[in-house]
């Protein structure tokens, strides 16, 4: 099979796996819109703020992953190009044992440090301290379960069986949503919520193990066949990914702790609500681009050069510009009426925060294909450098702006930081692969720029003229803007015959497993 055919098949598989991820989010996102205001009303701003801060702790303890999830996906994808099941089992064994040890260590550490974390780290009000301590310890137990069983989800991703992994994630989200409703209706509060998460993690984790064994019948733990060289290769890669994860704490988690200490825990709630919606929006496009890593890793391993991986980068960067950029613009325009319908009056600050964070993540998404390809090419040190730039920019800008202009300075600081990180990501990939840097903007043609400006103008006009007063009118107005953008893009020639042919092949060819 020649390289062009291999690359084209990889592009189709990435596109199909992207569809699986997006469908999963389409199915589960409505649950978020229902649960957030429901939890906010039932828990109140103070307790919801505690839940948000524990979410920050959750992100912190996830650093215990040591970057192994991404490492397993990348290594399994590369090894599957030669059907090397023996080495795949070594990778799984190293990750499983390491995750089990880390999970146990994190639980013991949180048990001993719970009071310090709650009182001095999060500045929790005294009347909520005991409740928060319980949540912190239980979160450590839930983390351990998800970490251990996450090994098998990463394996499935590496095998590019993302239809399967997305089904398991949907199952987990639905169970947690139903459990959240039941727990709060029965007045079990925060304690019930975290215990529900633990039960769900155990059940879905066992399912992931069973499914992984079915997809790879030769799967097993190869304790005796693991050598020092295997450990050196895996941890050499994973520790750089881990460094990226650690540095990512200088963005969203840092912002929440900054708000809690400089202002109050109530402001964390406002920021958290807007941030969660923006993250959900971002997740649609991250889910669409997550398959790039295993596909590019497999192409790089089988071809021995970066050509195939770069083809993936260029194609999906183009689609991001054509789809994600206008979607971000339209979402920003409709953010305030959306919040007003969703949460009611009195949450104008959430609406403004959402607009700014949507803009920040919109810029970041533009560089995501480049970031995925950097990891696929085995260049995690560049990912570390990118996160250093982003993290430092956020700490400096958010800290300075919150003292200068107050609360709203935090999301603006994040906007500046993510724009800087995205710009450096594109520069780093082109420099590492000796691709001319001007190629990074070759898809920002005058017609594409005009089409996106048209989307912005249309969205602003529609929001002012229609002023959506219900969900149906809001959805119709937003959909109309995107449809008009698509027609403008089509008229200006932004969508080519090659795009239509690619879409035809995507829909007509059967999935390859």
Q: Dump the DSSP string for 379-434.
A: -HHHHHHHHHHHHHHHHHHHHHHHHHH-TTHHHHHHHHHHHHHHHHHHHHHHHHTT
Angle, CA of 481, 486 and 492, to the nearest 5°: 125
pLDDT-derived band at 18 (thresholds 50, 70, 90) equals low
In angstroms, the CA 504 to CA 322 distance is 18
The string of DSSP letters for 290-305 reads TTHHHHHHHHHHHHSS
In angstroms, the CA 52 to CA 41 distance is 14
What's the whole-number mean pLDDT along residues 48-63? 70
Domain count across the chain = 1
Q: What is the pLDDT of residue 389?
A: 93
Q: What is the pLDDT of residue 513?
A: 43
> Each residue of 25-45: pLDDT tens digit?
677 777 767 777 788 788 787
314, exposed or middle or buried, with CB in 10 Å at 0-12, 13-18, 19+?
middle
Per-position b or e across 234-265, b if 16+ CB within 10 A of its CB: bbebbebbbbbbebbbbbbbbbbbbbbebbbb
Q: What is the pLDDT of residue 424?
A: 92
What's the whole-number mean pLDDT along residues 376-383? 83
- CA-CA distances (angstroms) from residue 346 to 113, 241, 270, 350, 355? 37, 41, 11, 9, 16
* Tally of CB atoms within 10 A around 323: 18
Q: Rank 84-88, 188-192, 426-430 by mean pLDDT and report only the highest.
A: 426-430
> Each residue of 480-496: pLDDT tens digit?
888 888 888 888 888 77
Backbone phi, psi, residue 187, to 5°: 60, 35
Chain-centre distance for alpha carbon 488: 30
- Residue 315 covered by a domain: yes
Q: What is the pLDDT of residue 60?
A: 62
> Comparing C-alpha atoms, which of 150, 146, 141 is closest to residue 106?
141
- Residue 194 covered by a domain: yes
HEC string for 203-249: HHHHHHHHHHHHHCCCCCCCCCCCCHHHHHHHHHHHHHHHHHHHHHH
Q: What is the pLDDT of residue 468?
A: 66
Query: Helices 292-303 and 3-61 meet at what angle, rounded to 10?
Result: 130
* Tally of CB atoms within 10 A around 389: 18
pLDDT at 461 over 80: yes
> Each residue of 185-208: pLDDT tens digit?
888 888 888 888 888 888 888 888
Q: What is the pLDDT of residue 361?
A: 85
- Residue 455 covered by a domain: no
pLDDT-derived band at 512 (thresholds 50, 70, 90) equals very low
> Each residue of 139-160: pLDDT tens digit?
888 888 888 888 888 888 888 7
In angstroms, the CA 196 to CA 131 distance is 16
In angstroms, the CA 235 to CA 242 distance is 10
Q: What is the pLDDT of residue 267?
A: 83
pLDDT-derived band at 456 (thresholds 50, 70, 90) equals confident
344, exposed or middle or buried, with CB in 10 Å at 0-12, 13-18, 19+?
exposed
Q: What is the DSSP letter of 511?
A: P
- Percent of the chain with pLDDT strictly greater than 90: 7
- Residue 47 covered by a domain: yes
Q: Are 3 and 307 in contact (CB under 8 A)?
A: yes
In angstroms, the CA 143 to CA 136 distance is 11
Task: Please provide the average confidence, as pLDDT, over all residues in the chain.
Answer: 81
What's the whole-number mean pLDDT along residues 41-53? 78
Domain that includes residue 25, residue range: 3-445+494-508
pLDDT at 395 over 50: yes
* Tally of CB atoms within 10 A around 395: 18
* Residues sharing a CB contact under 8 Å with residue 380, sequence separation 6 or more, in sequence order: 67, 237, 240, 241, 244, 374
* Residues sharing a CB contact under 8 Å with residue 277, sequence separation 6 or more, in sequence order: 32, 36, 354
- Residue 209 covered by a domain: yes
Query: Helices 3-61 and 252-262 meet at what angle, rounded to 10?
Result: 20
- Residue 461 covered by a domain: no
* Tally of CB atoms within 10 A around 464: 9
> Comparing C-alpha atoms, which of 317, 324, 302 is closest to residue 373?
317
In angstroms, the CA 85 to CA 255 distance is 43
- CA-CA distances (angstroms) from residue 296 to 13, 307, 372? 11, 10, 8
- Residue 188 covered by a domain: yes
Q: What is the pLDDT of residue 1?
A: 43
Q: What is the pLDDT of residue 26?
A: 73
Q: Are 72 and 155 in contact (CB under 8 A)?
A: yes
- Residue 383 covered by a domain: yes
In angstroms, the CA 35 to CA 33 distance is 6
Higher pLDDT, 33 or 370: 370
Integer Rg of the chain from CA? 23
pLDDT at 11 over 80: no
Taking every pair of C-alpha atoms in the chain, what is the biggest distance, in angstroms?
A: 69
Q: What is the pLDDT of residue 399?
A: 92
């Amino acid at each position: 099979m020649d390289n062009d055919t291999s690359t084209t098949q990889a592009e189709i598989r990435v596109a199909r796996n992207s569809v699986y991820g997006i469908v999963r989010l389409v199915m589960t996102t409505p649950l978020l819109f229902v649960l957030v205001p429901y939890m906010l009303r039932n828990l109140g701003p103070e307790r919801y703020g505690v839940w948000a801060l524990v979410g920050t702790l959750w992100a912190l303890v996830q650093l215990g992953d040591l970057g192994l999830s991404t490492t397993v996906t990348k290594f399994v994808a590369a090894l599957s190009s030669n059907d090397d099941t023996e080495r795949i089992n070594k990778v799984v064994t190293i990750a499983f044992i390491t995750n089990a040890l880390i999970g146990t260590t994190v639980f013991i550490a949180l048990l001993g440090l719970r009071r310090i974390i709650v009182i001095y780290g999060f500045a929790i009000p005294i009347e909520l301290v005991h409740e928060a301590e319980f949540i912190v310890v239980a979160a450590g137990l839930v983390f351990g379960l998800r970490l251990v069983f996450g090994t098998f989800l990463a394996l499935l991703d590496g095998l590019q069986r993302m239809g399967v992994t997305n089904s398991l994630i949907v199952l987990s989200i639905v169970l947690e949503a139903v459990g959240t409703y039941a727990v709060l209706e029965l007045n079990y509060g925060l304690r019930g919520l975290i215990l529900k998460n633990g039960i769900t993690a155990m059940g879905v984790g066992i399912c992931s193990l069973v499914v992984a064994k079915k997809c790879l019948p030769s799967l097993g733990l190869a304790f005796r066949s693991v050598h020092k060289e295997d450990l050196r290769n895996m941890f050499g890669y994973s520790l750089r990914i881990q460094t990226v994860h650690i540095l990512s704490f200088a963005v969203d988690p840092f912002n929440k702790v900054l708000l809690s200490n400089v202002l109050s825990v109530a402001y964390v709630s406002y920021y958290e609500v807007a941030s969660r919606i923006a993250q959900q929006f971002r997740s649609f496009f991250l889910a669409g681009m997550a398959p790039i890593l295993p596909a590019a890793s497999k192409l790089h391993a089988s071809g021995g050069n970066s050509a195939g991986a770069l083809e993936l980068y260029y194609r999906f960067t183009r689609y991001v510009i054509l789809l994600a950029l206008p979607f971000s613009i339209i979402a920003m325009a409709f953010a305030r009426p959306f919040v007003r319908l969703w949460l009611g009056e009195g949450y104008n600050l959430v609406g403004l925060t959402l607009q700014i964070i949507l803009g920040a993540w919109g810029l970041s998404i533009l560089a995501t294909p480049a970031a995925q390809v950097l990891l696929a090419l085995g260049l995690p040190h560049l990912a570390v450098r990118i996160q250093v730039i982003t993290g430092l920019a956020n700490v400096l800008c958010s800290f300075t702006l919150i003292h200068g202009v107050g609360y709203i300075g935090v999301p603006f600081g994040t906007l500046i930081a993510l724009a800087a990180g995205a710009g450096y990501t594109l520069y780093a990939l082109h420099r590492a692969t000796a691709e001319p840097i001007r190629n990074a903007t070759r898809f920002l043609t005058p017609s594409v720029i005009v089409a996106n400006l048209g989307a912005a103008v249309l969205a602003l006009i529609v929001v002012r003229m229609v002023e959506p007063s219900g969900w149906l009118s809001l959805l119709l107005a937003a959909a109309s803007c995107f449809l008009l953008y698509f027609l403008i893009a089509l008229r200006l020639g932004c969508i080519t015959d090659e795009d239509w042919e690619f879409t035809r092949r995507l829909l007509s060819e059967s999935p390859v497993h």
